[in-house]
Amino acid sequence: MKHLLKVLLVFTLILTGLSFAGNASAANGDKEEESINEKFGLPIVVYGGSLSEEQKQEVRDLLDVKDPEMVEEITVTGEDLVKYIDGEDRNARMFSSAKITRKEKGEGLAIKRGTPKNITEVTNDMYANALLTAGIEDAEVIVVSPVKVSGHSALVGIYKAYEVSGEVLDKDRMEVANEELSLATNLAEKEGMDQEKVSELLTEIKKQIAEQDPATREEIEQIVEEQLKKLEIQLSEEDRQLLIDLFDKMRELDINFDGVKQQLEDISKEIKDRVENVIGDPGFWQGVADFFRELFQTIANLFK
Which pLDDT tens digit goes with each residue over 50-81? 999 999 999 999 999 999 899 999 999 999 99
Full residue range of the structural domain in which residue 99 is found:
44-279
Segment 106-149, tens digit of pLDDT: 999 999 999 999 999 999 999 999 999 999 999 999 999 999 99
Q: Mean pLDDT across the chain, nearest whole number?
A: 83
Select the highest-mean-pLDDT range: 8-12, 38-42, 210-214, 275-279: 210-214
User: Between the ranges 2-16, 147-161, 261-275, where is the mean pLDDT highest?
Assistant: 147-161
pTM of the entire structure?
A: 0.76
In-domain check, residue 257: yes
> In angstroms, rounded to a whole number, what is the distance separating the alpha carbons of residues 299 and 165?
60
Dihedral of alpha carbons 12, 16, 19, 21, sign: negative
| 19 inside domain | no
Instruction: Assess if residue 295 is contained within a domain.
Output: no
Min mean pLDDT across 170-174, 225-229, 256-260, 286-290 is at: 286-290
Residue 226 lies inside a defined structural domain of this protein: yes
Distance CA 274, CA 269 (A): 9
Which pLDDT score is estimated for 263? 78
Which residues, including other chains, have CB under 8 Å from residue 62's CB and lie 6 or more apart? 114, 115, 144, 146
- Is residue 158 within 8 A of residue 173, CB to CB? The reply is no
Alpha-carbon Rg for the chain in angstroms: 24
Judged against a pLDDT cut of 70, whether residue 296 lies above it is answered with no
Whether 35 is covered by a domain: the verdict is no
For residues 29 and 59, is the Cβ–Cβ distance under 8 A?
no
Instruction: Name the band, by pLDDT with cuts 50, 70 and 90, for residue 273.
Output: confident
> Does a structural domain hold residue 39?
no
- Report the interhelical angle of 124-134 vs 154-164 (nearest 10°): 40
| Residue-level pLDDT at 254 | 87
Strand order in the sheet with 97-102: 72-76, 44-48, 97-102, 139-144, 109-113
Give the pLDDT of residue 297.
54
Give a yes or no: residue 48 inside a domain: yes
Q: Quickly count helices (H) and strands (E) in the chain.
A: 11, 5
CA distance 304 to 291: 20
- Supply the pLDDT for residue 150: 95
Q: DSSP string covering 116-172, please?
A: TTTB-S--HHHHHHHHHHHT--SEEEEEE-SS-B-STTHHHHHHHHHHHTTPPPPHH
In a domain? residue 190: yes
Mean pLDDT on 164-186: 93
Total domain count for the chain?
1
